Amino acid sequence: MIWHPPDMECEDDYTNHLFKVLRREIGKVLEEDDPDVSLEMRTGTSHGIPDILIHDRLVLELKVSSRKSERDRLVGQCCEYSRGYVTWAIVIDWPEERVEKLVDLLEAKCLNYIEVIEFNEDEDDDDEDEDFDEEEDN
């Protein structure tokens, strides 16, 4: 699965969109293998409220803004979540140098086990997501 996030207004919109795509894709893959895999959005845990929690094992924390304050907030959130979960930082439309600074900061703090995954808007690839949005509306 490759997610191509369309241009959205805010971080919550991206989180909602990714959650719908994951729910659809996980359903396809795990229908027969493991129907009990859970996917939760903004659910409370003993380590905070992650954007997306998959099967009580993997946290996805999304950030759209690459401002230093948001980067620092992301590091703090991921640090706390990583105490109980595998943690991935999902950064959307961050300039390459900001992503590199994030990765360097995580490494300097011995948090290099937190995976940083970049997504950038690509208008040419939105057709797949538009089809998905139309399916959801029906």
Q: What is the pLDDT of residues 58-95, one digit of tens each?
A: 999 999 988 999 999 999 999 999 999 999 999 999 99
C-alpha–C-alpha distance, residues 76 and 57, integer Å:
19
Residue at 80 is within a domain: yes
Tokens of 64: 């759209």
Is the model's pLDDT at 129 over the cut of 50? Answer: no
Is 6 within a domain?
A: no
Q: Strands of 2-136 (E only): list them.
A: 39-41, 52-54, 58-63, 86-92, 115-119
Task: Please check whether residue 2 lies inside any domain of the structure.
Answer: no
| Residue given tokens 């991935």 in the structure block | 88
> Has residue 4 been placed in a domain?
no
Kindly indicate the confidence band of residue 133, based on its pLDDT and cuts at 50, 70 and 90: very low
Q: Please report, for residues 7, 36, 73, 131, 132, the alpha-carbon distance to residue 20 in angstroms, rounded to integers and kept in the order given.
A: 16, 17, 25, 13, 9
The candidate with the shortest Cα–Cα distance to 105, out of 58, 70, 59, is 70
Residue at 85 is within a domain? yes
Distance of CA 24 to the CA centre of its chain: 15
Residue with token string 């369309």:
6
What is d(CA 34, CA 53) in angstroms, rounded to the nearest whole number?
17
User: Within a domain: residue 5?
Assistant: no
Per-residue pLDDT at 132:
43
Residue 1 domain flag = no
Q: What is the pLDDT of residue 38?
A: 85
End-to-end Cα, the chain, rounded Å = 23
Domain that holds residue 107: 11-137
Number of domains in the chain: 1
CATH number at residue 56: 3.40.50
Task: Return the minimum-mean-pLDDT range out of 28-32, 37-41, 110-114.
Answer: 28-32
Is 111 domain-assigned?
Answer: yes
Query: How far apart are the C-alpha atoms of 38 and 53, rounded to whole Å?
Result: 8
